[in-house]
Chain A
Amino acid sequence: MRVAVVTPRYGLDLGGGAENQARGFAEEAARLGWTVEVWTTCAQDHYTWQNALPAGPSSLNGVTIHRFPITHWDPSLRAEQEQRLQTRQHLSVFQQYQWLHSGPHSAPLYRHVAAQAAHFDAIIMLPYANPLVHYAAQVVPDRTILWPCLHDEAYAYLEPVRLTLESVWGVMFNSPEEATLACRKLGMTPQHHAILGEGVLPLPSPRITEVGDHLLYVGRLEEGKNLLQLYEFVERYNRERGALSLTVVGRGPLRPPHHPAFEFLGFVDEQSKVDACAGALALCQPSLNESFSLVIMESWLAGRPVLVHGECPVTRGHVRRSKGGLFYSTYPEFAEAVEWLREHPELATRMGQNGRAYVQKNYTWAAVTHRFQCLIQTWQRPIP
């Protein structure tokens, strides 16, 4: 199998979910002995898009990387459209394409895609919320497989996004709910599509065995993660029902309030994160908008159940299929779910085990690459 991966940024410690997804896939493909190349830019920072890394070939964990400089980038035009998107304003078709044309773009990368694509079975491109991916996809639509990581957010409704999804060879979704968003809610009609899922890297074994009585949040501390509601629910629980603490792990502007119910750990290393997961009553994922949610998988791998927001179709879908946790939409549901987990520690542990089995069966990188091989074979087969 010969596969190329096109992604705007690539490397260690970039922090983005899609970037980690691209790296996990490429490294597993290399481990399997496939020919795999990553075509990316010299940028590291997704705000400035400065060419921080040298252009040319390099290698990381067995994967060959070709980096190309960003050549077109109009930050003021981009900021104008971004502001409209973030404040839910209407963008005319012209403005939607301005968002696409404002960049970042890399003309040498597009030339490379055009020249080299024929030597590969498939060119995987991700994520969808970056203009570079859409330009690259239009260079070789017949060989492009888009792995969009689609969220129910303003970008997903842009016409250029629809154009790419409906033009490329195929689209791979991370969950059935993401496919439903694209094909039912947005009414997109990709030429081929399949549920691939994402891989979860094996985690170190937890150093602790004792489970605490607190909730855990791991992730970016941003408003988009619906964190304010979680803070509010925890405070209210403390006022109305008694002590409940929330340990918060991650970076971002929305730190927890100064209140004895909250313990803020900041950014921690992998081992500490596993320990935090293994020692919590449950991991709480309050986000309403996830395309996969790695952190709930990590909590399950650590053997603990999860508490997710019922209005997020993706995380609720994972919980329903795995029987690995509970979901809530309102404060009374949240409070009852916490009470139930506290009163039924054995069942809570069993939920964690269900979740672990679900991840190990469906979301190891080996399982993902196997599904990828199968879908390529199916899509390559001529339609009778």
Chain B
Amino acid sequence: MAEIRQRIIHRRAELGYDRRTFPTFGAAAYPGVPEDMDYDTDLYHYLRLANETFAAAETAPLLAPSPATRVPILGKVWQIIRASAHSLVLFYVNRAVAHQTTVNSHLVSTLNRMAVVMEQQQRTIQTLQAELEALRRTER
């Protein structure tokens, strides 16, 4: 097993995967904080939270026992009726949640991409600023 893991590491290096970027599934992935420039910490904090939570939805039936469900025979019947009612509601709620999760996914993907584009623009600005400084120094 250890030998196979070593082969995987070796093959990965051979194919140069560390230097390459690959497509990601569905949502554009959270880009992570930039390491080579200053950044707005709040922006990346909330972006990370949005990525971690956009798909989390509680849609399981919540059927806590109540005094009524403890009544012999009738309690069980009542429990079955309650479970059916919850399932019916969940059928429709799950549809709405699935749709909302898709929308959330698109919104979070958009934000992730915007963060990446902003980073690229910031790098371009920094390069241009450096060139401008150099030109000014030459003129002087």
- Give residues 95-129 of B contacting A (CB, 8 Å): 95, 98, 105
A163–B16 Cα distance when bound, in Å, is 11
Q: Which of A88, A93, A110, A154 has the most CB of B within 10 A?
A: A88
Q: Is B135 an interface residue (CB 8 A)?
A: no
Given contacts A87-B55, A159-B17, A166-B15, contact A101 B26 (CB under 8 A): no
- Give residues 136-182 of A contacting B (CB, 8 Å): 138-139, 141, 153-154, 156-157, 159-160, 162-163, 166-167
**Which residue on chain A has the smallest CB distance to residue B10?**
A138
Given contacts A89-B52, A89-B55, contact A138 B11 (CB under 8 A): yes
Q: Is B7 an interface residue (CB 8 A)?
A: yes
Q: Assess the A138–B26 pair: CB atoms within 8 A.
A: no
Interface residues on B, range: 20 to 34
Q: Assess the A90–B29 pair: CB atoms within 8 A.
A: yes
Q: Is B46 an interface residue (CB 8 A)?
A: no
> Could you say which residues of chain B place their CB within 8 Å of the CB of A90?
24, 27, 29-30, 51
Q: Assess the A88–B11 pair: CB atoms within 8 A.
A: no
Q: Assess the A186–B24 pair: CB atoms within 8 A.
A: no
Q: Assess the B4–A185 pair: CB atoms within 8 A.
A: no
Partner of A160 from the list B8, B27, B95 (CB cut-off 8 Å) is: B8
Shortest distance from the beta carbon of B28 to any chain A beta carbon, whole Å: 9
Shortest distance from the beta carbon of A201 to any chain B beta carbon, whole Å: 33
**Which residue on chain A has the smallest CB distance to residue B48?**
A90
List residues of chain B with CB under 8 Å of any chain A CB.
1, 4-5, 7-8, 11-12, 15, 17, 22-27, 29-30, 51-52, 55-56, 91, 95, 98, 105
Known: A105-B1, A160-B8, A228-B98. 18 other contacts (CB 8 A): A72-B1, A88-B25, A90-B27, A97-B8, A135-B1, A138-B7, A138-B8, A138-B11, A141-B11, A159-B12, A159-B17, A163-B11, A163-B12, A163-B15, A167-B15, A187-B23, A228-B95, A257-B91
List residues of chain A with CB under 8 Å of any chain B CB.
72, 87-90, 93, 97, 100-101, 105, 107, 110, 135, 138-139, 141, 153-154, 156-157, 159-160, 162-163, 166-167, 185-187, 223, 228, 257
